[in-house]
Structure 1
Amino acid sequence: MALAFGALGPARAEDDRITWSVYDAPPYMITEGENRDGGIFDRIRHLLSDRLTGYSSSTLNVPFPRIITSLKNGETWCFVGGVRTPEREGFAAFSRPVAMFYPLRIIVPASKRARFEGLEPLSLHALLTDHRDLRTSVLRNRAIAPSVDALFRQYPPGQTHSEFGEAFRMLLNDRLDYLVEFSSIAAYNARQIGEPGAFVGLPFAEENREPVFARVMCAGTPWGRAVVARIDAVLAAERPGPAYRSIVEAWTAAADLPRIRAVYDTFLASE
């Protein structure tokens, strides 16, 4: 019966399917190569799919802007890894945090390190206003961190991209000078191109001092809110355990592990 929808699961046949949307964003989502489907969000997606009894699921690889459009259209899609923002809360339902993005850095080619260190104290605001000759790009429709998002809205970069690998190839080929990115994403992409030392991550004034939490976001419909309620119940049971902690820490550089572990209790207490 319809009144049991939230507590017992889907009430109608058309509501018992979840389309999990993914795109290539290693090490969070890995759609190609030897580590395919082994990213942090991939592993969380599999865990949730296994626990969400009563739902059938499929996975669809699409660019991130397409994910946002589908959620706005109320399609029965969910995405592991969304950052909650006031604008997105207008069309999406969000779970409690599933993982974290941390730490955030200005990523530059190793060959340009001295040039950027010469600008210290490094500031994204200064790069976007006083050094417009230095080229950067942002992933379309992405939310990185509030202070960074606000700066990119006020001073839009000259380029955008739809895939992480595309941006790092541009950085390597001198079509970009820097990216604002999380260190684990930069390190993974450097390893993938066979040059672990290709990029350097530099602290900057507007970097997030606290982790940015990634969540599952589903369409902000009664269907989506019911799925999120089920997901939150799974997360409440799974997040405190060592197996889940190993997922969150997967692919983290050894130098960043103390940071991740220091904020893990905050992560567990978050809603």
Structure 2
Amino acid sequence: MTKQITKQITWTVFDAPPYTIVDGKNRDNGISDRIRRLLTARLSDYRHSTMTVPFPRILTSLKSGAEWCFVGGVKAPDREAFAVFSRPVAMFYPLRIVVRAPNRARFEALGPLSLRDLLTKHRDLRTSVLRYRALAPAADALFQQYPPGQTYSEFGEAFRMLLNDRLDYLVEFSSIAAYHARYLGAPGAFVGFPFAEENRVPVFPRVMCAGTPWGREVVARIDAVLAAERASPAYRGIVEAWAADEDLPRIRAVYDTFLASD
């Protein structure tokens, strides 16, 4: 007799290429998508479903205890009040001030760049942030202290606004900026600058599940899979997928830090 599966995980996704890709020719082939497929294959005693929802709704539903998980959540103190986090699954690195290529000289003239200065001394320069996002501790603290005049709910929306000169800059990871430039048919449209408050070490996304007994059980199972898989060449290939060629040496140099993180 076939054993009946009664346990279920609902995996939530939103369009955040190259981590989760919900449409187009690369659909379901982002970094987080591949990790989610690996986990669903290993957790065969669970029934799995996938739901596309806006990121703010993911957080709201986890707060209410929904039996959902999300591949790509950054651990932050406010989130630990309602969610439980796995070991790191990938890395966000490096973080940059991203501008339109024609504005390179304008921003070079402000260098060395500081996000604090952009948000305080150059308020005429327009930026935006994803609602409820955790980027990196120093950048998050500055955005909380000096919130920009607008927010967005989808990455594509923000990069279209940047490309169309409705924003002057974004604070974003270079792989995300490179993907959206190609997606918008304008590879090379954006340039990224280092800045004073960028993280010198990667930010680690994790699987984020509801902070309930169910969620803790699921994360314990996920951590066991990650412990067995993360050092493999195949998993390294997932982490490096979509990275810009110029970023690969830096990613490979910190991979051992990634493996040692919990």
TM superposition score normalised by structure 1: 0.94
Q: Which letter does structure 1 place at the counterpart of 2:173? A: F
- Corresponding residue number in structure 1 for 2:131: 140
Q: Alpha-carbon deviation of 1:174? A: 1.0
Return the match for 2:73 from 82, 92, 109. 82
Aligned match of 2:12: 21
Query: Aligned to 1:123, which of 94, 114, 124?
Result: 114
CA distance in 1, matches of 2:112, 2:251: 25
Alpha-carbon distance between aligned partners in 2 of 1:167 and 1:195, rounded to the nearest angstrom: 15
CA displacement at 1:53 relative to structure 2: 2.1
- Select the residue among 144, 168, 178 that pairs with 1:177: 168
Distance 2:181 2:248 in 1: 19
Partner residue, 2:205: 214
Paired with 1:62 and 1:162, the residues of 2 have a C-alpha distance of: 11
Maintained 8 Å contact 1:99/1:213: yes
Instruction: Please say if residues 5 and 47 of structure 2, whose CA atoms lie closer than 8 Å, have aligned partners that are also in contact.
Output: no
Q: What's the CA shift string for 1:19-73, capped at 9, x where partnerless?
A: 1000111000001110000000000000001101211111111110000001001
Out of 21, 28, 34, the position equivalent to 1:43 is: 34
| CA distance in 2 between partners of 1:254 and 1:110 (Å) | 19
Corresponding position: 1:233 with 2:224: yes
Q: Give how far 1:138 is off.
A: 0.3
Residues 87-166 of structure 1 correspond to what in structure 2 (within 5 A)? 87-166=78-157
Question: How many Å separate the matches in 1 of 2:129 and 2:151?
Answer: 5
Instruction: Provide the aligned C-alpha RMSD in A.
Output: 1.0
Q: Which amino acid aligns with 1:47?
A: L
Q: Which runs of 5+ in 2 are unaligned?
A: none
Shift of 1:14: 10
Structure 1: 5+ residue runs without aligned partners? 1-12
| TM-score for both structures, normalised by structure 2 | 0.98
- Identity of counterpart residues, as a percentage? 76
Maintained 8 Å contact 2:177/2:190: yes
Query: What is residue 256 of structure 2 aligned with on the other side?
Result: 265
Rounded Cα–Cα distance in structure 1 between residues aligned with 2:51 and 2:256? 33
Q: How many pairs does the alignment contain? A: 259
Closer, same or farther in 2 for the Cα pair 1:14/1:47, shift >3 Å?
closer
* Residue identity in the other structure for 1:216: V
